[in-house]
Amino acid sequence: MSMAASLELRPPLLDHRLAELAFRLPSSMKVRTGQTKWVLKEVARRHLPADIVDRRKVGFRVPLDSWFRTSLRDSVHDRLTGPGSFVAETFDRKAVRDLLDRHDSGNFNEEIRIWTLMSLEVWHERFFATAAVG
């Protein structure tokens, strides 16, 4: 996702030596007085300002709401309402179309419901539809 957003990211916490050290540390160094990542934050304080170390997490969102209205729109509509769609056959096809239309209008963000239905559709394709063919 970092590259999709034109961010270069090199996660230093994926270094196997650091991970091995973290696994050897006792829990009391990882969580202290309810603060998670305690030892990591204490080390970070030596190199970073407190407002950086103590700031709240900032999410890195995937713009599904936008993608479901643009580049993925036709694929989503076909897979969720087209012939052979498990979702369309299992649920009320009109209700699924209404959900997609509501999202397309831009007045509602139905990305969570659409993502859930797409996950169900792809899961079914992967584990059941191909088994029926082969």
3-state SS track over the chain: CCHHHCCCCCCHHHCHHHHHHHHHCCHHHHEECCEECHHHHHHHHCCCCHHHHCCCCCCCCCCHHHHCCCCCHHHHHHHHHCCCCHHHHHCCHHHHHHHHHHHHCCCCCCHHHHHHHHHHHHHHHHHHHHHHHC
pLDDT computed for residue 92 by the predictor? 95
pLDDT computed for residue 118 by the predictor? 98
Contact 39, 29 (CB under 8 A): yes
The ranges assigned to domains in the chain are 3-53, 64-133
Tens digits of pLDDT across the chain (134 residues):
677 777 777 677 778 898 899 899 999 889 998 888 899 899 999 999 999 999 988 777 889 999 999 999 999 999 999 999 999 999 999 999 999 999 999 999 999 999 999 999 999 999 997 655 54
For 42, other C-beta atoms within 10 Å of its C-beta total 13
Q: Tokens for 61, please give them.
A: 């969102």
For 11, other C-beta atoms within 10 Å of its C-beta total 7
pTM above 0.85, yes or no: no
d(CA 64, CA 119): 13
pLDDT computed for residue 112 by the predictor? 96
